[in-house]
A and B are shown apart, each in its own frame.
Chain A
Amino acid sequence: MMAEKKHMALALCSGCGIGAALDTDKLTAAATGFAGNLPCMQHEALCSESGLDVLHRFTKEHEVDHLAIAACSPRVKSEEFSLTGIYVERINLREQVAWVMEPGEEDTQMCAEDQTRMALARLHSISEIRPYVPDHVNRDILVVGGGIAGLTAAREGAEAGYTIHLVEKRKIPGGYAGRLYKLSPEGAGRNTLSEPDIQELVREVQENPNINLHLETTIQSISGEPGNFTVRLQHEKEQTIGVGAVVVSTGWKPYDTNRLGHLGYGASRVKTLEEFEQYVRTDAVPGRVLFILCAGSRDKEHLPYCSSYCCSASLKQALYVREKNPDAEVYIVYRDIRTVGFQEEFYKMVQADDAILMTKGSVESVREEHGEVRVVVKDSLIANEVTIAADMVVLATGMVPNSTIDLQLQYRQGSGLPEIEYDFSDSHFICFPYETRRTGIYAAGTVRAPMDIEQSREDGAGAMMKAIQSVESVKRGEAVHPRSGDMTFPELFMERCTDCKRCTEECPFGMYDENEKGTPLPNPARCRRCGICVGSCPERVIGFADYDINSISAMIKAVDVPDEFEEKPRILLFICENDAYPALDAAGVSRLRISPFVRVIPVRCLGSINKVWISDALAHGYDGVLQIGCKPGDDYQCHFIHGSELTKKRGENLQETLETMMLEPERIRTQFVEITEHHAIVSIINAYVEELEAIGPNPFKSM
């Protein structure tokens, strides 16, 4: 279907130094020269009341539906320049041209004219945005796992008016916390152990009419996408329900005791925290009990991490011993006592008991002999080496997250949640703890990270919030974090698809499923709009309404490339919108100097750069292509998980492209910066321009 003819226009601001740096009339002439019959307006302060007034009248008069605003960065004045019913393309003449290039110079002018032509070319070639909104969006939410995090999630979701399905594989909900003898104090000024209160929460959940509790139930499969998941449950018989989002709170299990033989496990007098928790309910507590903290934790051979709960759980159990047997002595061998926050008071209280002796130290050996356990401790506060005899030893074993494979996700990329480290289905991002690679599915509690009861409650509520948000976003046809509000989604021209599977493999969010032939089956509501599939597709069949192969190619080709004798190289800069683009803006705010030979195209993620854009650029006569994005590696900052990593990998293939074009490998370069490195980004750009000037012009220029 042919789209109706676009009504494009250009509004140019000459304020903030733009007018001083550029000949704006010449710029307007270049724009009309490129786009033909293009209504243009100029104002010396477009964002001012009078400027906006003129702009509104101008757009009305010309019935503008696609407007290029050549002014400041799209990161500023966004409210002023968002115009109802008009698609606005911002041309960043201020931060990225006028503020960083020599005013009045020919090269600065050429840069501004090119950037304007590029924006117009993009406006000309993009399609109308029609959001993906499924006919029916299910607002119900599934919670998997009825421990403290899951119960809290269910209750909070139900209180907010959502229907919840809570699935628990056991007969009794409550999880680990439900099996505790007593609870450590929580909050300030509370120094006594308290009776478990989880049964109150269980009762609230059972009595809430918005919560459907499915006990002794397992999941057969979860298929679909946010707003439309189909869940097959198995209790006595199979039942199918529909939900819009999922909270996964399947909890943890203690570390495998079979691997703790070196700490005496296997001997009758050596127990774990979990075992001792039950033991004290029924059995007599002996006179000397020794706790070994970090048993198999903070240990490269076992669990490298700290499980957070064991210090305070051990202190609690030390009090059990004293309560049950007032004559008993307790020893605690620790590496560091990690009672953070207000738990410190609890630690002080336990410390004050003279019958509880604590020492830093490392356990050398644990041996049961002559009816007692002999524990050799090295590097302690007592002596270099000391042997302590005890009647019972308790090993503070760490947390191992339960596998999420049991979710049985019918996703091409696997049936569980992706894990980031040590099998935890956690977010990689400090500022976004609920970042998920399975949109609409959020991990909560100890399956996500080691945490205590208080944190699990907060986590359950937080994950439920994200689940609700995901459903509400699907209803509006919008993406969730980090491109929240984006209404575009990938559309595939299937006739040309060769079933190569790159998109289905490379999507960080498992958006694509696959049929048996390998043909991609998109689930748009899972999509996070990074465009990595656009970059992955060798047949160039994937695109977003306003971000596709043709629109970026059109931008590339809109640049006037001077011939080789003019000594004006042209460098195409693909810049990641998330971190590198703001860094370049910040360079503008600091008025650093950038080479005017660079032409900037912002990209959704480096991973969205399609190889064809690079060959287009080189064929068009650009001397080099520089891609700048977020840091890859273990501590990656790429908002789309592995976009930057993929770009590095794809770089190798690009070198082949260069070879076939008989070009130097230096003509493509990938660099990474942090958002705060505005000095570095300027050095990278300028150094690359110099390097290319030394290499000489691209031979394709003259063709």
Chain B
Amino acid sequence: MNSTTLVIGGGISGITAAAELADAGRQVVLIEKEPYLGGHVAGFHNYFPKLCPPSCGLEINYQRIRSNPRISYYTGARVTAIEGGYGHYEVTITLEPRLINNRCTSCGKCAGVCPEEPKAAYIPGGLAFPMKYTIQADLCKKEACGKCLEVCPYDAIQLDACAATVEIEVGKIIIATGWSLYDAGRLEHYHYQQEQDVVTNLEFEHLLAATTRENRQLTRPSDGKVPARIAFIQCAGSRDVNHLPYCSAVCCGVSIKHALTLAEAYPDIATEIFYIDIRLPGRNEKLLERAKATGRIKFTKGKVGRIIHHNNRSGLTLEVEDVMAGGKRYDAFDMVVLAMGMTPNHIDKDLAVNMYGFYLEGQPSGIITASSCKRPMDVSSSVKDATAAALKTMRR
């Protein structure tokens, strides 16, 4: 019986499961497919209902990983094979080359000379973990350029690095692969592909995060102007038999958070939220009260039938079915945020899923599924479930 646990997925759930286990005295290997830990939340501007920055909790968790010798982690890593069974899983991990090795000190010289735009050599901000640069292979001209090779004083650049594989044996596996946003391009009536100022909730989150990181104003993508009116379309592709029949549990909270963040930081921006039901269970009701109290966020119960796409003209007109007032109305906005739902991420192994592709609880013995790859849920619920999953791996 191998006593090490493998955690697949280095987002907030996987990080939590790994740190909780290691703090309880267990050996853990954590793997993440991206070059950095943190998953979705590392790119978020803030959490609801407190409107606090996710980096704050991530930093504590990174500190737990740094100081706990029982955790090892791989980034840029994917599971390519799982063999064996309960107590002795043999796992093959493929490591994508980050083209920069562990000698990197994060001095930033490579990014300084990188001629590409966006830069091939990058680090996603000053709170990234691990604090090491990565070269994006698809943006880099490799030896044809080689400028970074010349300036790196630490022999850290390896432009010819190839994928490597690592084989490890573990006793149990936690799957915390998280979620991806539903494809907004499939909602043709909202012209996401054609209209630059129609963005997803995740893109809007990243826009807000950039304002703090770069110390600048929020601007809309098409012309770089500060938008005056922003619409939020709830259940965009959710609770919809043609797309995602289920409710993704977080999108109401996310849009209200966005509108509230705007109301507090940009008093001149007017926002309107179009919803079917406002779903903010538990104590999060307070967020709704706080949003309403600003007096600057309009809530309209109704579906947005379509966004009217004008050729050669800016501005977005929404066709709204206003349920309470009765009938249709047309309204113009400068920017539209689509509250898109969650779909589950998978690993390269057939595991039991439900009708929507989310992982079921019941899996081969010793494989535990956790958090949002199991069911749409918010951060707090994900952390809670990841902690519960950690205990399930300790079953004898």
A residues bordering B, Cβ < 8 Å? 15-17, 44-45, 47-49, 72, 75-79, 156-157, 159-161, 187-189, 298, 304-308, 336-345, 348, 360, 379, 381, 421-422, 424, 426, 429-434, 449-451, 455, 458-462, 464-466, 468-469, 472-473, 476, 480-482, 484-485, 578-579, 582, 585-590, 630-631, 635, 637, 639, 674-679
Contact = CB atoms under 8 A, between A and B. Distances in A.
A431 B12 contact: yes
B388 A578 contact: no
8 contacts: A187-B375, A337-B277, A341-B249, A421-B286, A433-B384, A465-B24, A484-B19, A579-B56
A318 to B, nearest CB: 17
Contact of A338 (B106, B131, B154, B279): B279
A378 to B, nearest CB: 12
B392 A461 contact: yes
A43 to B, nearest CB: 12
Contacts of B103: 47-49
Given A432-B57, A480-B23, A675-B53, 19 more contacts: A15-B154, A17-B107, A156-B391, A160-B394, A305-B286, A306-B284, A343-B247, A379-B324, A432-B383, A465-B390, A484-B19, A484-B67, A485-B68, A579-B59, A589-B106, A589-B125, A635-B51, A675-B55, A675-B56
Contacts of A47: 103, 105
Among all A-B residue pairs, the 3 with the closest Cβ atoms: A586-B126, A431-B57, A589-B126
A184 to B, nearest CB: 14
A139 to B, nearest CB: 11
B208 to A, nearest CB: 11
Contacts of B239: 344
Given A189-B355, A674-B56, A308 B50 contact: no
B242 interface: no
B396 A450 contact: no
A480 B64 CA distance: 10
A639 B60 contact: yes
A36 B3 CA distance: 49
A305 B49 CA distance: 13
A360 B301 contact: yes
Nearest to A343: B247
Contacts of B131: 75-76
B232 to A, nearest CB: 16
Nearest to A47: B105
Interface in B193-213: 209, 212-213
A645 to B, nearest CB: 15
B367 interface: no
Given A16-B105, A306-B282, A468-B391, A431 B54 contact: yes
A585 B67 CA distance: 18
Contacts of A480: 23
Nearest to B12: A431
B280 A306 contact: yes
Contacts of A585: 126
Given A15-B154, A461-B388, A484-B64, A674 B24 contact: no
Contact of A77 (B105, B209, B323, B392): B105
Nearest to B22: A484
B354 interface: yes
B313 interface: no
A156 B389 CA distance: 10
Contacts of A345: 245-246
Contact of A78 (B24, B66, B279): B66
Interface string B55-79: 1111111011011100000000000
A449 B283 contact: yes
B23 A677 contact: no
B282 A341 contact: no
Contacts of B155: 48
B294 interface: no
A469 B20 contact: yes
B127 A586 contact: yes
Contacts of B61: 431
Given A430-B50, A431-B383, A469 B59 contact: no
B289 interface: yes
Nearest to A334: B277
Nearest to A635: B50
B106 A76 contact: yes
Interface in B216-265: 239, 245-249
A16 B384 CA distance: 40
B363 to A, nearest CB: 14
Given A45-B154, A304-B289, A485-B64, A451 B282 contact: yes
B376 A341 contact: yes
Contacts of A587: 126
Given A585-B126, A674-B53, A676-B55, A431 B379 contact: yes
Contact of A677 (B59, B63, B123, B212): B212
Interface string B63-107: 110111000000000000000000000000000000000010111
Contacts of B323: 360, 381
Interface string B369-381: 0000001110111
Contact of B391 (A462, A472, A579): A462
Contacts of A677: 212
B312 interface: no
B203 to A, nearest CB: 18
B67 A78 contact: yes
B374 to A, nearest CB: 10
Contacts of B281: 306, 308, 338, 340, 450
A336 B278 contact: yes
B383 A588 contact: no
B224 to A, nearest CB: 20
A429 B53 CA distance: 11
A474 to B, nearest CB: 11
Contact of B60 (A77, A455, A481, A586): A481
B315 interface: no
A635 B392 CA distance: 33
A472 B25 contact: yes
Interface string B3-38: 000000000100010011001110000000000000
Interface string B345-367: 00000000011101010000000
A341 B375 contact: yes
A309 to B, nearest CB: 9
A611 B231 CA distance: 51
A160 B395 contact: yes
A426 B283 CA distance: 10
A627 B356 CA distance: 51
A643 to B, nearest CB: 14
Contacts of A578: 56, 59-60
B28 to A, nearest CB: 13
B221 to A, nearest CB: 22
Contacts of A476: 25
B24 A468 contact: yes
A340 B123 CA distance: 37
A188 B20 CA distance: 29
Contact of A484 (B58, B68, B279, B354): B68
B343 interface: no
A298 B285 contact: yes
B52 interface: yes
Contacts of A631: 52
Nearest to A348: B245
Contacts of B47: 430-431
Contact of A421 (B56, B67, B249, B283): B283
Contacts of B20: 465-466, 469
A473 B320 CA distance: 57
A458 B384 contact: yes
Nearest to A639: B60
Nearest to B281: A308
Interface centre among B50, B248, B381, B387 (most CB of A within 10 A): B387
